[in-house]
A and B are shown apart, each in its own frame.
Chain A
Amino acid sequence: MKTITNILLVALAFTFTACDQPTEKIHIREGIRSDDLASNIVTRPVAHAFSALIGEGIEIDEAILMNNDSGFLELNINGHNRSYSTKRFRYKIEWLDANGLMIQTKTSTWLPASATGKSSFSLKAVAPRVEAVDFRMDTKKWE
């Protein structure tokens, strides 16, 4: 029992150590960069297994809205993939007018996105109508 607890604690420590990576501007992947405590030939399988066990996935860090030079609302989403595996997903952005009503556009369709393991990703979308003042976003698994 004590051994299992120790393994879990070590795995947790590795997971949290790896959390710093998405904020780095330069991402050097496992197998290319020098091994560290969280990713060497011995600990790597444990860290990967623990990450999968607790179901790590995509997280959104920030959503920046701004008007471009033509007056259209632009959305920039920055996020990171906490897991060790590539996460492929689809996302759909719907644009809302000042009354909170959805604006029907052909651009509001499911679009593909992908984020490799333990790395950052960005999504960009542009509202095709000047009436758009807000957005909502939905995601689903890549079929």
Chain B
Amino acid sequence: MRTKIIVTLVGLLLAGCAAETVNIDVVNDEGKAVMELDYRDFAQAASEMIQSMISSGALKKPGGGRYVMTTARVTNDTMQRIDTDQLMAKIEEELMNSGQVVMTSAVGGKGAPDEMIYELRDIRDSATGDEFKQETLAGKKTLIAPELSIAGKILQRNIRYDRNRQQVEYYFQLMVTDLTTGLRFWQKESIIGKRGSNRSVAW
């Protein structure tokens, strides 16, 4: 009987030790920093990039209007599995909201961000196209080519700091290029550095 009570109590204690799942307060996150890149790092890098781009005046189109922009290749050269859209989605959103840029979904570094553009044209050119009202189908030569392209990479360096600690440096590098002339209008590097235990693995 006594054994059963002890076993039950130990079981209850162990159950109580399990870390409770909580939602993160993403507005005012008081959580500790982590060695890997987390959402706060992407928010910081994106904010710095957007502000630099807007204040540079590089996106102010001579004669007014908005530039048509596409996101080219943004390479993940870190040891982590990162979808670079974590960075680029924020930047694209803010650039469009700024009124200086309109993004195209027709071309991009990973292919067309919205493949439906071409699927619909394939339908138009196939027998299935006859099922649609012809005036509702996109005509030929209707897509608008991008004028500016944004490309870059995220890279990581791991450095041994001392016997017990390591330093991990993350470099966010972006550039905006005029696709007509090939000239680079804007460029920025944003660095996020972390120092922590050797036992933390940053990949």
A interface list, Cβ under 8 A from B? 68-70, 72, 74, 105-112, 124-126, 128-130, 140, 143
Question: Would you call B110 an interface residue if the criterion is a C-beta within 8 Å of the partner chain's C-beta atoms?
Answer: no
Question: Would you call B99 an interface residue if the criterion is a C-beta within 8 Å of the partner chain's C-beta atoms?
Answer: yes
For the complex formed, measure the closest distance between the CB of A92 and the CB atoms of chain B, giving whole angstroms.
Answer: 9
CB within 8 Å for A111 and B47 given contacts A70-B60, A106-B93: yes
Interface 0/1 of B184-199, CB less than 8 Å to A: 0000000000000000
User: What total of A-B pairs shows CB separation below 8 Å?
Assistant: 63
For the complex formed, measure the closest distance between the CB of B82 and the CB atoms of chain A, giving whole angstroms.
Answer: 18
Question: Would you call B94 an interface residue if the criterion is a C-beta within 8 Å of the partner chain's C-beta atoms?
Answer: yes
Please tell me which one of the listed residues A107, A108, A110, A143 contacts residue B32 in the complex, with CB atoms under 8 A apart.
A143
Residues of B within 8 Å of A106, CB to CB, are 43, 46-47, 50, 90-91, 93-94
Instruction: Name A105's closest neighbour in chain B (CB-CB).
Output: B94
Determine the distance from Cα of A4 to Cα of B55 in the docked complex, in whole angstroms. 53
Interface 0/1 of B21-49, CB less than 8 Å to A: 00000001011110000001001101110
Determine the distance from Cα of A130 to Cα of B100 in the docked complex, in whole angstroms. 10
For the complex formed, measure the closest distance between the CB of B93 and the CB atoms of chain A, giving whole angstroms.
Answer: 6
For the complex formed, measure the closest distance between the CB of A123 and the CB atoms of chain B, giving whole angstroms.
Answer: 11
A-B contact pairs, 27 of them (CB 8 A): A72-B54, A72-B98, A74-B55, A105-B97, A106-B43, A106-B91, A106-B93, A106-B94, A107-B46, A107-B50, A107-B51, A108-B47, A109-B40, A109-B43, A109-B47, A110-B40, A110-B44, A111-B47, A112-B44, A125-B51, A126-B51, A128-B50, A128-B51, A128-B54, A128-B94, A129-B97, A143-B30
Determine the distance from Cα of A35 to Cα of B31 in the docked complex, in whole angstroms. 42
Q: Which of A72, A108, A109 is the most central at the interface, judged by chain B CB atoms within 10 Å of its CB? A: A109
B interface list, Cβ under 8 A from A? 28, 30-33, 40, 43-44, 46-48, 50-51, 54-55, 57, 59-60, 90-91, 93-94, 97-100
Residues of B within 8 Å of A129, CB to CB, are 97-99
Residues of A within 8 Å of B54, CB to CB, are 70, 72, 126, 128
CB within 8 Å for A68 and B32 given contacts A105-B97, A107-B50, A111-B47: no
Instruction: Name B61's closest neighbour in chain A (CB-CB).
Output: A70
Residues of A within 8 Å of B60, CB to CB, are 69-70
Q: Which of A69, A105, A108 is the most central at the interface, judged by chain B CB atoms within 10 Å of its CB? A: A105
For the complex formed, measure the closest distance between the CB of B59 and the CB atoms of chain A, giving whole angstroms.
Answer: 8
Residues of B within 8 Å of A74, CB to CB, are 55
Residues of A within 8 Å of B93, CB to CB, are 106
Determine the distance from Cα of A124 to Cα of B44 in the docked complex, in whole angstroms. 14
Residues of A within 8 Å of B55, CB to CB, are 68, 72, 74, 124, 126
Determine the distance from Cα of A128 to Cα of B31 in the docked complex, in whole angstroms. 28
Given A70-B60, A110-B44, 19 extra CB contacts under 8 A: A68-B55, A70-B54, A72-B54, A72-B98, A106-B91, A106-B93, A107-B46, A107-B50, A109-B43, A110-B28, A111-B44, A126-B51, A126-B54, A128-B51, A128-B54, A128-B94, A143-B31, A143-B32, A143-B33
Q: Which of B31, B48, B59 is the most central at the interface, judged by chain A CB atoms within 10 Å of its CB? A: B48
Residues of B within 8 Å of A72, CB to CB, are 54-55, 98
